[in-house]
Amino acid sequence: MLLRIDPAASAPLFEQLVQGVKEAVAAGQLTAGDKLPSVRELARELAINPNTVARAYERLEAEDVILRRQGAGCFVKEQRSSLTARERKRRLAAAMRRVVTDAFHTGASADEISAALEAELDRLDFPEDSP
Amino acid sequence: MTDSPAIRFDALRRRYGERWVLRGLSFEVPRGQVYALLGRNGAGKTTALRTLLGFLQRDGGRTEVLGRDSAALTPEVRDRIGYVAETPALYGWMTVDRVLAFEAGTRRRFDRDRAEDLLERLGMRGRHKVDELSRGARAQLALAVAVAARPDVLVLDDPAAGLDAVVRRELLEMLVDAIAEDGCTVLMSSHVLSDVERVADRVGLLADGRLLVDASVEDLKRRVQRRRVRTAADAPPAVPGLLAARAVSQGFELTLLDHDDARQAALAAAVEAVSPAETPSLEELFLDLLGGHGTAGGPPPGAGPAPTGAAPAPDTAPTPDDARPLGAVRHHPANGSPT
Question: For A68-115, how does the pLDDT look when each residue is reduced to its tens digit (9 = 90+)?
Answer: 988 888 999 887 667 788 888 998 999 999 999 989 988 899 999 999
CB–CB contact A51 B217 (8 Å) = no
Inside any domain, residue B155: yes
Is the CB of residue B283 less than 8 Å away from at least one CB of chain A?
yes
B186 beta partners: B34, B154
What's the total number of domains in chain A? 2
Helix (H, G, I), strand (E, B) or coil at B247: strand
Q: Mean pLDDT of all residues in chain B? A: 83
Both B32 and B180 in one domain: the answer is: yes
* Band (B338; pLDDT cuts 50, 70, 90): very low
Q: Where are the beta strands (DSSP E) in A1-131?
A: 66-69, 73-76
Q: Tell me how crowded residue B198 is: count the other CB atoms within 10 A of its CB.
A: 24
Q: Label residue B98 exposed, middle or buried (CB < 10 Å: 0-12, 13-18, 19+).
A: middle
pLDDT mean over B258-276 = 90
Both B229 and B145 in one domain: the answer is: no
Q: Measure A8 CA to nearest chain B CA, in Å.
A: 5
Out of B155, B173, B200, pick the residue that ends a domain: B200
Both A65 and A96 in one domain: the answer is: no
What's the total number of domains in chain B? 2
Q: Measure B319 CA to nearest chain A CA, in Å.
A: 35
Inside any domain, residue B1: no
Contact A13, B195 (CB under 8 A): no
Q: Which of chain B's residues have a Cβ under 8 Å away from the Cβ of A48? A: 176, 198-199
Inside any domain, residue A131: no
Both A65 and A99 in one domain: the answer is: no
β-strands B210-216, B202-207 pairing: antiparallel
CB–CB contact A49 B222 (8 Å) = no
Comparing CA positions, the residue from B235, B82, B200, B211 lying closest to residue B147 is B82
Both B182 and B243 in one domain: the answer is: no
Both B170 and B292 in one domain: the answer is: no
Q: At what angle do helices A85-104 and A110-123 cross, to 10 degrees?
A: 130
Is the CB of residue A119 less than 8 Å away from at least one CB of chain B?
no
Inside any domain, residue B278: yes
Both B125 and B272 in one domain: the answer is: no
Question: pLDDT > 70: what percent of chain A?
Answer: 93
Nearest to B179 among A12, A14, A49 (CB): A49
**Residue A55: closest CA among chain B residues belongs to which residue?**
B201
CB pairs under 8 A between A and B: 57
Nearest to B194 among A7, A13, A44 (CB): A7
How many whole angstroms separate alpha carbon A47 and alpha carbon A52?
11
Q: At what angle do helices B135-148 and B165-182 cross, to 10 degrees?
A: 0
Nearest to B198 among A12, A14, A49 (CB): A49
Per mean pLDDT, which range of B106-110, B264-268, B321-325 is the poorest? B321-325
Inside any domain, residue A128: no
Both A69 and A105 in one domain: the answer is: no
Asked if pLDDT for residue B238 goes beyond 90, the answer is no
**Residue A10: closest CA among chain B residues belongs to which residue?**
B279
Inside any domain, residue B338: no
* Band (B324; pLDDT cuts 50, 70, 90): very low
Q: Which of chain B's residues have a Cβ under 8 Å away from the Cβ of A43? A: 176, 179-180
Helix (H, G, I), strand (E, B) or coil at B9: strand
Inside any domain, residue A130: no
Both A34 and A70 in one domain: the answer is: yes
**pLDDT: which is higher, B322 or A130:** A130
Both A30 and A58 in one domain: the answer is: yes
Range of the domain at B190: 7-200
| Tens digit of each residue's pLDDT (9 = 90 or more) over B126-180 | 888 999 888 899 999 999 999 999 999 999 999 888 888 999 999 999 999 999 9
Q: Mean pLDDT of all residues in chain A? A: 87
CB–CB contact A47 B173 (8 Å) = yes
Q: Tell me how crowded residue B134 is: count the other CB atoms within 10 A of its CB.
A: 11
Nearest to A10 among B180, B279, B283 (CB): B279
Asked if pLDDT for residue B293 goes beyond 70, the answer is no
CB–CB contact A50 B279 (8 Å) = no
Is the CB of residue A43 less than 8 Å away from at least one CB of chain B?
yes
B230 beta partners: B251, B273
* Band (B314; pLDDT cuts 50, 70, 90): very low
Both B189 and B230 in one domain: the answer is: no
CB–CB contact A49 B177 (8 Å) = no
Q: Which residue of A6, A42, A49 to mutate against B (max B Cβ within 10 Å)?
A: A49
β-strands A73-76, B325-326 pairing: unpaired
β-strands B19-29, B7-16 pairing: antiparallel
Both A56 and A28 in one domain: the answer is: yes
Inside any domain, residue A24: yes
Inside any domain, residue B209: no
Contact B299, B334 (CB under 8 A): yes
Is the CB of residue B197 less than 8 Å away from at least one CB of chain A?
yes
Is the CB of residue B169 less than 8 Å away from at least one CB of chain A?
yes
Nearest to A47 among B34, B198, B278 (CB): B198
Nearest to B199 among A12, A39, A48 (CB): A48
Q: What is the pLDDT of residue A112?
A: 94
Range of the domain at A52: 13-76
